[in-house]
Amino acid sequence: MTSGIRIPFMDLSYIHQPMEDELSDVFKSILQSNQYILGSHLSAFESSYAIFNQTQYAIGVSNGLDALFLSLKALGIEEGDEVIVPSNTFIASILAITALKAVPVFAEPDMQTYNICPDNIRNAITSKTKAIMPVHLYGQACDMETIATIASDNNLIIVEDNAQAQGAAFKSKLTGSWGHANATSFYPGKNLGALGDAGAVTTNDLAVAEKIQLLRNYGSDKKYYHKVAGHNMRMDNLQAAFLDIKLKHLPVWTAERQKIAAYYTQILSSVGDLILPYINADSSHVFHLYVIRTKYRDALQAYLSENGIQTLIHYPIPPHLQEAYRHLNYRKGDFPVAETIADTCLSLPLYPGLSKEQCHYIASTIASFFERL
């Protein structure tokens, strides 16, 4: 029994160490500039990110949750409106909806891709439905073509939750560029991460972009003149500067994630009862997470931990069963696909810098777990 972690779930030092001087230099220059809020680095990063995401506009905000909230709010979602959202997403997707007193309507995902199933979206539409929030879970693009058709047939807004899929695409159109306003997160562990909290909204609609700029800044575009009751949800100039430096490397990091994922899939195929990630033919997958499934999940996770391998569960409790949403009166069994995924999924370490030898150690430890069963 080894004590201590040999392979952490995530290690950001591989990507930060080589750029330490560059990050320190920009920190020093901002320190001396006295420009900390809504400065030139923020507008520079907003331009770079809009170009990266192939949208007209990107607006830097405080975090991914606020990016979702501001997107919904700018598009006019309000009390009582129904928003269709996958039953197996991270809680932030739901929190953004309920913060506006709108109603999350859960649609089950596809059991292979873990992304929201278009047929289940169709079945969830009522006269109160205003929006669909597809979540590109684990880094794989949803079937945005079908979802866009459903939205336009039913006059619905799309807000993509693109927190996990920066750079992914459906039929070569990037995630974060399909919806009316789309949110992403630069939480440090995301594929593109700040050195703290940050997020962005991407859109092709000038009016929506301007609305978000107002809402994130106290409802003001002129100091001390307030057009709407807004919020303080700005991205720091400092975080924007760090992100602009890191963005240049994102394509290389994504390619590395995809290579590690392909290696895992090669060395884990036909091990135990493992179900490995499935990639839809028209989607690209940027592997924010490499998620496997097994009915022995808890025992496997404990065994890996004993052998120094840290894993996580994304996510152990689906939103409809969270204590925070007890008042929605859902029960176990209401969304069996989400519940099955929650009971069986396990995310393996995956980050730029993870070596082939480390993957091999992880795979052989998993294999030895199943041999001992």
Tell me which residues touch ligand PLP (CB under 6 A): 63-65, 89-90, 92-93, 135, 161, 163-164, 185, 187, 197, 199
* Residue 163 or 359 with smaller CB distance to ligand PLP: 163
Least distance between ligand PLP and beta carbon 63 (Å): 4
* Residue 82 or 160 with smaller CB distance to ligand PLP: 160
Beta-carbon contacts of residue 200 (< 8 Å; ≥ 6 apart): 46, 49, 58, 59, 60, 61, 67, 183, 184, 186, 235
* Residue 94 or 359 with smaller CB distance to ligand PLP: 94
Hey, how many other C-beta atoms are within 10 angstroms of the C-beta on 297? Answer: 18
Least distance between ligand PLP and beta carbon 263 (Å): 24
Least distance between ligand PLP and beta carbon 1 (Å): 33
Alpha-carbon gap, residue 30 to 173, rounded angstroms:
35
* Residue 118 or 199 with smaller CB distance to ligand PLP: 199
Integer angstrom CA distances of residue 176 from 51, 111, 153, 179: 12, 23, 21, 7
Least distance between ligand PLP and beta carbon 276 (Å): 21
* Residue 290 or 369 with smaller CB distance to ligand PLP: 290
Alpha-carbon gap, residue 39 to 118, rounded angstroms:
41
Least distance between ligand PLP and beta carbon 37 (Å): 19
Least distance between ligand PLP and beta carbon 163 (Å): 3
* Residue 130 or 190 with smaller CB distance to ligand PLP: 190
Sign of CA dihedral 143, 263, 354, 109: positive
Alpha-carbon gap, residue 319 to 213, rounded angstroms:
30
* Residue 92 or 150 with smaller CB distance to ligand PLP: 92
Q: Are strands 129-132 and 157-158 parallel, antiparallel or unpaired?
A: parallel
Least distance between ligand PLP and beta carbon 277 (Å): 16
Q: Which three-class secondary structure string do you get for 26-72?
A: HHHHHHHHCCCECCHHHHHHHHHHHHHHCCCEEEEECCHHHHHHHHH
Q: Hey, which bits of 294-369 come out as E strands?
A: 345-348
Residue nearest to ligand PLP (CB): 64
Residue among 318, 276, 307 at smallest CA distance from 294: 276
Least distance between ligand PLP and beta carbon 6 (Å): 26
Q: Retrieve residue 77's tokens.
A: 């979602």
* Residue 300 or 321 with smaller CB distance to ligand PLP: 321
Alpha-carbon gap, residue 145 to 126, rounded angstroms:
21
Is residue 178 within 8 A of residue 160, CB to CB? The reply is yes
Alpha-carbon gap, residue 198 to 214, rounded angstroms:
17
Q: Retrieve residue 136's tokens.
A: 């590109």
Least distance between ligand PLP and beta carbon 365 (Å): 27
Least distance between ligand PLP and beta carbon 286 (Å): 13
Scan for tokens 């201590």, then name that residue: 4
Alpha-carbon gap, residue 8 to 170, rounded angstroms:
31
* Residue 8 or 188 with smaller CB distance to ligand PLP: 188
* Residue 186 or 369 with smaller CB distance to ligand PLP: 186
